[in-house]
Amino acid sequence: MRNVLFTLLLSVLARPLLAQGAPPQVAPDQPYTVEYYYKVQWGHQQEFLQLFLKNHYPLLQKSVESGRMVSVRIEQPANHMTEDARWDYRVTIRFKNSTMGTTANPDEDRVIKQLWPDQEVYKREEQRRFEILLAHWDLPVTDITPPKKIARRILPIGKVLAARAGSGGTGSRFPPYLATNKSSAGMESMPRAPMCGFRGIPISIPN
């Protein structure tokens, strides 16, 4: 039982460490999330945002309507960062699947002409948007949150001890197998917890 519990805990705690290297691949039929970061020239943040909302966001909304994308979220940081680390806007797009997120939309040109009939103005404003852009990078991310059925089985130690104690029959707020220390003055101190975990009480996880 101790070996089983140790293996379970190790597999859960190791997930963040593995994610620092190569994140696990998303299944072909699962949503695929990409974060797009934009770093703009100082003093031009609002201009960039207005151009983005006018000439690019409607295209993203059309992709959501068509089912190619699941959701689009636009965010900006609440606090300042160093110049090397700063970014001004983050657009998080959740695609229907990895294929949608890594291939070009064949209908994009048609939709662009439909949304912006005056292509001369559209192209001029898009050129301006990229002129004031200092840097842009994409970051695919993978959700590694454990499934609920696994998270439920990794109970806090307090709940495990309470489950083992049962009713106890003592009326105390501590389980009956928790000994109580007496100080030299005869006053009760904090209860002394028994050895638990792998060396003392073997922890069995309730179904």
| CATH value at residue 53 | 3.30.70.100
Q: Are 108 and 84 in the same domain?
A: yes
Q: Are 72 and 160 in the same domain?
A: no
Pairwise CA distance, residues 35 & 29, whole Å: 19
Q: Are 49 and 114 in the same domain?
A: yes
Q: How high is the pLDDT of residue 134?
A: 97
What mean pLDDT is predicted for residues 95-101? 95
- pLDDT band of residue 154 (cuts 50, 70, 90) is low
pLDDT tens digits, one per residue of 63-88: 999 999 999 999 999 998 999 999 99
Q: Are 164 and 134 in the same domain?
A: no
- Domain assignment present for residue 12? The answer is no
- Domain assignment present for residue 90? The answer is yes
Q: Are 116 and 161 in the same domain?
A: no
pTM of the model: 0.62
Instruction: Give me the domain span that covers residue 168.
Output: 146-181+197-207
Q: How high is the pLDDT of residue 101?
A: 94
**Count of H-run helices and E-run strands, the chain:** 8, 6
Of the two residues 11 and 146, the one the predictor is more confident about is 146
Q: Are 137 and 168 in the same domain?
A: no
2: pLDDT strictly greater than 80? no
Q: Count the domains in the chain.
A: 2
Tokens 């963040």 label which residue? 16
Instruction: Answer whether 149's CB lies under 8 Å from 155's CB.
Output: no
Instruction: Answer whether 56's CB lies under 8 Å from 47's CB.
Output: no
- Nearest to 29, CA basis, from 63, 71, 62, 70: 70
- pLDDT band of residue 104 (cuts 50, 70, 90) is very high
Of the two residues 138 and 20, the one the predictor is more confident about is 138
Residue 144 neighbours by CB under 8 Å, 6+ apart: 15, 16, 19, 23, 24
Of the two residues 111 and 200, the one the predictor is more confident about is 111
- Domain assignment present for residue 4? The answer is no
Q: Are 36 and 85 in the same domain?
A: yes
Q: How high is the pLDDT of residue 159?
A: 62
Q: Are 167 and 69 in the same domain?
A: no
